[in-house]
Structure 1
Amino acid sequence: MTSKVTLFINQLPYSATREDVAAHFAQAAGTTAAALLPSCRLVLKDGAFKGTAFVDVTDFESCDRGLALHQSQFKASSDGSSRRINVREAVSKTRLEQIAERSKFSRNQGPLGKDRKGKEVVGEVDPQRKRKGEALEGEGCIEAR
């Protein structure tokens, strides 16, 4: 089955071009750099390249070969600058929103959803006791009020 898969690449040198990205991923995609060029998109902010790109490949095998380039050395042709890049499978905006919603919690809420407001330290902790949990009952215990 053939399906378009998008690779997310970051940590690219700021001097990298679409041609550089296409050349780096062409073999993994099983095509030439010229054929892959239309599938390469660079992320710009205020007209400047920010070191992030997306590359569309035609199938899951090409995606796997592209993912194998994670932490590979990428060299920009314009100035010869080189960086170790990160390659991941791209995630849709809808999926990103779901992940963000699931992991969101406020400053006053712990990861288990328990409210931490109103808790205060009661008593004093012996300064020589450095490890957490060594305080005796009534000494440095945290209670919700």
Structure 2
Amino acid sequence: MSPREICPTHTARLSRGFTLIELLVVIGLMTLVASIAVPRLWGQYQSYQQQQRVTEFWQDVQTRIIATQREGLNFVFLPDQDYWQTLAQQHDLILTRDTPAFSVRADGFASQGHIELTFPEQQMVWEVRIHQPDGEVNLVRTQ
């Protein structure tokens, strides 16, 4: 005897597919998961984009530091200088003018300081923190 002859209702149920209620439950669960996951992923994506823009700004500053060091000169970052304000605007950032200056000597020794950058569209503030003595850099979102 074949399995169809033993239990015909079981085989008939398998060939019909899913019921409407089963499909609705699955769609409801997928909607619930999406409503939780999508906003979190979108927030992380925005944070990633912001970090990329801050990193690009810092790379431009670092390029200027290296060029100054090659000339055997000390580098001083003064946030109120027009050059840095313009550079920040090119990256769609606002450079806070009242952040303390920092310097990097020709031999690579760095003074401690930070650069405060604001994203005008979200009012998010990021800091590029420079640590003594070797100029280690951390990017930190403060708001």
| TM-score, normalised relative to structure 2 | 0.21
Q: Which has the higher contact order (CA 8 A, sep 6+)?
A: 1
| TM-score, normalised relative to structure 1 | 0.21
